[in-house]
Structure 1
Amino acid sequence: MNGSLIKVVARGERGQALPLFALFLLIFLGFVAMSIDVGRYVWARTQMQAAVDAAALAAAQSMPSQTDAAAKATEYWMDNSGFIRSQGTNVQFAVTYPEGNKAVRVEARADIPTWFARLFGVDHWQVSASGDAESQVLDIVVVFDISGSMCFDSFRQTETSGAYMMSPGRLTPAGGFNFPRLAANINATQTTIQLNDVRIFTSTNASTNRSNFGTTFNSTTPYWQRSASGLRAGMIMIDNELMRITGVNVSTNTLTVQRGQRNDATGVMTTATSHAANAEVWANRTGYSSTSDYCQLASYYTPTTTQNGPAQPFDAAIDAAKYFTTLFDPTYDKIGAVRYSTTAAISQNLTSNFSAVRGSFDAILWPAGATNIPHGLAVGRQVLDGPGKRANAVRVLVLVTDGIANTYCGSATYSAANYNSTSCSTGSGVSTAENHARQEAQRAANGDIIIFTIGLGDDLNRQFLRDIAAIGGGQFYEAPTTAQLDEAFEAVAEQTHIALVR
């Protein structure tokens, strides 16, 4: 009797458990089904927002052309919305142009069909996203290094003193002397060589010597006999071979030379080799003592705005700075220019007349002087705070240099007052100059100025330029060669052009 009762109770419990199990299984499957559909919704929403943001940023770069902006937005939407377009229905995509700084708004929506949620009466999810971007209104100043080292790629140092560089001098007669060239081929063993004109090396007129070779040669001692600290007398260079003049015969236009001389700047001996007629005969030239005229004396031409140089990397840097202005829109943006060497000066206040900005670069005829980066930063800040300043503009300072900060304003102790004008009494020293520059960069950053730095060539303190950019909230770009300058300027333009503003 008792055993029969127990069996009846057990069968009853099993009968109650089965419906409960089925109920919980149904609920569990419902959660699983919902999680799959919810996951599809979340993925669709994430992809849609990313696609919309990419489209908005791309479109903003094409403004103010709304046609180009719409085409670019559509291109980026198609590239980034594959899941939406393959899985969704009623997909909508639109580009509009709200009021603002070259603003673009991209909006999208779609219905994403559900798989399991429809069992509960939900047959689709609706997803939508929008993104606003604007190509920002910019006030930009290019702060441009015009120190004497900006012609050193064209002319090389061969003496222990960095005040002297080998160069050709004027193509047209300077001091009445013809541009010196070989008059005939020479072989590797000749020690008597004929030129078209040797008088430039024998002049005893101080002003003529100064006009041909620079301030250090302001002497009646002729070039071929003139020596100074770090300078050997009578050094010339033909192609890559250094020679030393030991005698001059004006009547026959010949030089007696010692061949294959040492480059004292590098410590490397040059090799005596043959040279062809008409090869240029280079000489040491300088100008650092007072007038800083080395680069203009070294070049082939008397400098003008239409004929100059060669003076590399100066020439290429000027061209790159002019190209930089073409990356912006004068309808919205303004650009100014500052040049700096021993001190800084305003070349052009903020203007939307980009032709005037390019003209201000062309007006810099040759590089000369030391490298006062802190004053360059200070005068750049003055331009951004000066005529043409706009309250709604993003303020950008682009510092370009090929060297190391070595000059500053005032004393070794930094004083902001020394950087409030375009004139200053200068001191020299790398560590002090860099300290002043960091403080001037901070002063600019405190005024909401973003600083980008571009370092040209190899003679750079890269960490210092990174520091200046970091203080200013920008970036440091390196251009080891002049061929990479355009890329550096393009990178700055891309960084400053656009922003998501949602």
Structure 2
Amino acid sequence: MKTTTIRTDLPREEKRKGAFMILTFFGIMATAGFLAMSIDLGVVAVFKVRMQNVADAAALAAAQEISIALDEISDQISSGNVQGEVQDANSYAQDQARVMAEHVAELNGMFIDPQIDVLFGQRTLDENSGEATITWGVSPFNAVKVIVRKDNPSQTAPDAKVDLFFAKMFDNDQVALRAEAVAYIDSRDLVVVMDFSGSMVYDSLWRSDSIDKLGQQAIDDGLYNIWTDLDSPTYGNMQFDNDWITIPSDSSSSPKVSLTWKKSTVDITTTKQLDYARLYFSDNKYQNFSSLSGQSKTLSGTGSNSGKLIKYAKVRYKENGREYYADFDLFDYDTLKRGLDLNGVNYPYPSGSWNSFISYCLNDSEVNRAGYRYQFGMMNLVHYWLDAQMPYSSTPELWKTRHYPFNAVKSGGSLLCEFLDGLDFGDHLGLVTYDTYHRVESQLVPDGWVSESVDIGATPITDDYSAIDTIQKHKQAAHYYNTTNVGGGLHEAIKLLDEHSRYGSQKTILLMTDGNANTSDNNWSVPSDFSWNAMTDYNGDGVADYTTSDSHKLYTFVRVKQAIDKGYTIHTMSVGANADRDFMKAIAFAGDGIWVDVPGGTTVAAMEEQMLQAFARIAANVPPPKLTHSESP
């Protein structure tokens, strides 16, 4: 019998040598797969970052076109069709934004279809929570979405899917990618701080600087406009043009005598025969005129009395051999009121009087400068109201008149409201006014002089632009008081923003004045960390380029620092020939804002145009676009 022997002492490794080869093969394949996947994932990741960067850049560039378009029209805009012009600019910006987004993508080697991949919408903030939402397709547009796609299956298309390298081994050689970004323009909580001081009427008065700048005829014409704004009233026998006064005698018997006073000359008229006259002059000397004849005579001092102001006249005339006398005290208010036919006529406003007005015509230096001293008319009366009785409590109807530079400021304020309404970016507006004191303007109460009613006290920073406009239209120069507390106005604006601004909005102050700070609040002090260098180093060399020892201006800068510390932006506007431009420029620099100068020009029309453009520039100075990858940033 044959026997077969089987060895059982072979090493274990020799028994499994083929299995290791199989495992190695599969291990290599798995490693290669993971390596291919990691490389392709890296490519995809890099590509997605690149696409996102392009989307970000294109969205910001597109949104910037909206800001550029608004800035361009601010130099050309005028009242009349503000909303239409703003909306036209927004539509124009839409087209430019598409072009810009496409251009930026192309420069970075990406493709977008500007008609499909660039979307526009309106971003709004919830007034209470500050939460933002974007409604796409709703204009005016303040948000832009840019989509960068690589999802076209055609390998020759500019937006073709991204090629993969090793994934082709698994029959998956392309991947679709997409990135998008949203850029938006923040809405603002903008507080306008208006100068209500008495100097806001100076360009309508016969001041020497106003006459030098505008010419007296322009001021006279402006006074006529103010008169017509008041519905062309007349009192007694006064018409608009100033004229010499004719005074009838007060005798109850006939015949009568009348005297026209022309400063150093008198015209005497009677229905009978003149006989004699005596003229008394301002130096208490007199001159007799005897053997007069006829029914009228023009008399004035002669010799050493030539050109002297006549203050009293005594006239004698005859009838049937009988002598009659008539006395004319030319500085007696009752006599002058008789000549103006004002006896029994009520003075029209709460403060002032006919006696005060007559005294003004006899003594005021500005009336004398204009050549209208000792004359009477509605022109002088309007000037008296503007100069001596300008507060609302004195002459309430001045709010409806075109007095300057205040009317130019109000016109600019109306344009600002129209601009923001047409822009419709969700900006909210508040109004602070200052003079000797300062306050938030939120109410308008009918009182017999004003029929409109406004109450935004619950939301004094509001998107009800018409309410703000209505309030400011019903104000006048020195509406409350006369002096100029610039720092106080700024302080009030900061308080208003602290208490009523929306979360997430840009806080902005527009501070304006036509003159110089000449009063301050009480009980203020300079903070220990106050530094001129930190605020007014224009050149960046560590040295302040603006400092002042004036306490009222220093107080203003203490409030500027308060706003800076809170992150508030301050724009400034200097108005009129006498404004302190360095002061306002320094405030704007410190507040990271813009300074707009309104020098006033040489005509009222030029002043109006400059003011409108200044307010348009502020309205158009929207915040720089911000970026988000969410539609509810």
- For the superposition of Structure 1 and Structure 2, which TM-score range results when normalised by the shorter chain? 0.5 to 0.7
Q: CA deviation at 1:343?
A: 1.0
**What residue ranges of structure 2 are gaps of 5+ in the alignment?**
1-50, 71-85, 124-131, 135-141, 151-155, 159-175, 211-218, 245-262, 268-327, 443-459, 529-547, 600-606, 629-633
Counterpart residue type for residue 472 of structure 1: G
**Where does residue 356 of structure 1 map in the other structure?**
467
- Counterpart Cα distance in 1 of 2:380 and 2:610: 31
Counterpart residue type for residue 404 of structure 1: N
Task: Find the partner of 2:580 among 461, 466, 479.
Answer: 461
**Where does residue 440 of structure 2 map in the other structure?**
346
Alignment of 1:181 onto 2:241: yes
Identity over aligned residues, as a percent? 20
1:220/1:203 CA distance change after superposition, 3 Å: farther
Task: Find the partner of 1:404 among 508, 516, 536.
Answer: 516
Alignment of 1:103 onto 2:124: no
Question: Partner of 1:408: helix, strand, or coil?
Answer: coil
Task: Find the partner of 2:333 among 184, 204, 218.
Answer: 204
Note if contact 1:340-1:372 (Cα within 8 Å) is conserved in structure 2: yes
Alignment of 1:484 onto 2:610: yes
Alignment of 1:383 onto 2:475: no
- Counterpart Cα distance in 2 of 1:88 and 1:220: 79
**Where does residue 325 of structure 1 map in the other structure?**
417
Q: CA deviation at 1:87?
A: 11
1:494/1:71 CA distance change after superposition, 3 Å: closer
**Where does residue 493 of structure 1 map in the other structure?**
619
Q: CA deviation at 1:384?
A: 1.4
Alignment of 1:312 onto 2:404: yes
Q: CA deviation at 1:463?
A: 1.5
Does 1 or 2 have the higher relative contact order (CA < 8 Å, sep 6+)? Answer: 2
Note if contact 1:399-1:453 (Cα within 8 Å) is conserved in structure 2: yes
Counterpart residue type for residue 375 of structure 1: G
**Where does residue 233 of structure 2 map in the other structure?**
172
- Counterpart Cα distance in 1 of 2:582 and 2:626: 30
Q: CA deviation at 1:493?
A: 2.2
Question: Partner of 1:451: helix, strand, or coil?
Answer: strand
Question: Partner of 1:438: helix, strand, or coil?
Answer: helix
- Counterpart Cα distance in 2 of 1:220 and 1:457: 29
Counterpart residue type for residue 118 of structure 2: V
Question: Partner of 1:399: helix, strand, or coil?
Answer: strand
When the two structures are superposed, what TM-score results if normalisation uses the length of structure 2?
0.48
1:30-69 alpha-carbon deviations (Å, 9 max, x no partner)? xxxxxxxxxxxxxx99999765433123358999x99997
**Where does residue 446 of structure 1 map in the other structure?**
565
When the two structures are superposed, what TM-score results if normalisation uses the length of structure 1?
0.59
Task: Find the partner of 2:592 among 473, 482, 502.
Answer: 473
- Counterpart Cα distance in 1 of 2:419 and 2:362: 53
Counterpart residue type for residue 113 of structure 2: Q
Which of the two has higher C-alpha Rg? 2
Note if contact 1:217-1:223 (Cα within 8 Å) is conserved in structure 2: no
- Counterpart Cα distance in 2 of 1:226 and 1:87: 77
1:217/1:359 CA distance change after superposition, 3 Å: same
**What residue ranges of structure 1 are gaps of 5+ in the alignment?**
1-43, 114-125, 185-189, 249-254, 256-277, 417-428
Note if contact 1:51-1:77 (Cα within 8 Å) is conserved in structure 2: no
Task: Find the partner of 1:337 among 423, 427, 431.
Answer: 431
Counterpart residue type for residue 504 of structure 2: N
Note if contact 2:427-2:463 (Cα within 8 Å) is conserved in structure 1: yes
Note if contact 1:133-1:498 (Cα within 8 Å) is conserved in structure 2: no
Counterpart residue type for residue 204 of structure 1: Y
Note if contact 1:56-1:104 (Cα within 8 Å) is conserved in structure 2: yes
Alignment of 1:235 onto 2:356: no
CA root-mean-square deviation:
5.4
- Counterpart Cα distance in 2 of 1:482 and 1:358: 17
Counterpart residue type for residue 439 of structure 1: V
Counterpart residue type for residue 593 of structure 2: G
**Where does residue 506 of structure 2 map in the other structure?**
394
Name which of structure 1's ranges 429-438 and 68-77 shifts more when overlaid on structure 2: 68-77
Note if contact 2:493-2:509 (Cα within 8 Å) is conserved in structure 1: yes
Note if contact 1:143-1:399 (Cα within 8 Å) is conserved in structure 2: yes
- Counterpart Cα distance in 2 of 1:414 and 1:89: 56
1:282-309 alpha-carbon deviations (Å, 9 max, x no partner)? 8974888xxx7347799xx96166xx22
Q: How many residues align structurally?
A: 378
1:148-198 alpha-carbon deviations (Å, 9 max, x no partner)? 1111112221499xxxx9967965245x462452579xxxxx98699xxxx
